Structures are given as structure tokens and as C-alpha cells.
């Protein structure tokens, strides 16, 4: 499985933007980049995914480097409810999600 590297933890203030980085230097041309998050005492939930182009949805934006060796999840205005572990995962066809250690995001008021 292609590996991803994320910082162990990050901190943010409420209502400020948050940029969560992910390195995936061994990504293959067909891997999709998925982001999931896990709030305390809940199962993981889908955030966003992309292949090459930047992507936006109601939860977040995903910025993908031109060489695809890194990506950044952008939360435009962090709220206390965004405090969670964020996982960056490379998804290949025929495989399940394989979780790395993720980034624990803390949000302060």
C-alpha cells in the first residue's frame, strides 16, 4: 500500500482556516486521495476525495500538488465540532481504506 505522512497534531483557533498537510511521495498514477475524519467516540466519516484537480464540497477543500506527491485539506472556518483525527488515505481499486496514524486537530475557542 502506498504510504502517507501526516503531522501527529495541529492546533487551530475557532473561525480560522486550517490547512492539514499530507505527503504521499510514492503515489501511483491511479491512486485517489481520500480524507476521512474521526470525531471522538464515533466511527470515521468521509470528508473529501480527489485525483488531480482541486476539489470543494460543503465540508472542506482539497488542494492537490501538481506532481501529486502532496495534498492539503483545507477547513475554511474551523469550529469546535471540527476537532477530530484527520486521515489522509490513498485508495486503489479493489482495496479497502487502510488508515495511517492521522493528524489530531485541536480547536480552541
Does 59 sit near other proteins (CB under 8 A)?
Answer: no
Considering the complex, what minimum distance in angstroms separates the CB of residue 7 from other proteins? Answer: 15
Does 8 sit near other proteins (CB under 8 A)?
Answer: no
| 1 to 28, 37, 46, 72: CA distances (angstroms) | 10, 20, 20, 20
Nearest to 47 by CA among 71, 23, 16, 12: 71
3-state SS, residue 82: helix
Nearer to other proteins, 30 or 79 (CB): 30
Binding site for other proteins (CB under 8 A): 30-32, 36, 38, 42-46, 49, 85, 87, 91-102
Amino acid at each position: 500500500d502506498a504510504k502517507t505522512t501526516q503531522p501527529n497534531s495541529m492546533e487551530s483557533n475557532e473561525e480560522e482556516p486550517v490547512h492539514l498537510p499530507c505527503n504521499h511521495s510514492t503515489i501511483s498514477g491511479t491512486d485517489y486521495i481520500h480524507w476521512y475524519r474521526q470525531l471522538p467516540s464515533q466511527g470515521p466519516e468521509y470528508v473529501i476525495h480527489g485525483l488531480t484537480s482541486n476539489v470543494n464540497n460543503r465540508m472542506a477543500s482539497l488542494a492537490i500538488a501538481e506532481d501529486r506527491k502532496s495534498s492539503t485539506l483545507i477547513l475554511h472556518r474551523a469550529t469546535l465540532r471540527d476537532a477530530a483525527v484527520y486521515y489522509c488515505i490513498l485508495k486503489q481499486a479493489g482495496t479497502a481504506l487502510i488508515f495511517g496514524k492521522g493528524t489530531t486537530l485541536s480547536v480552541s475557542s
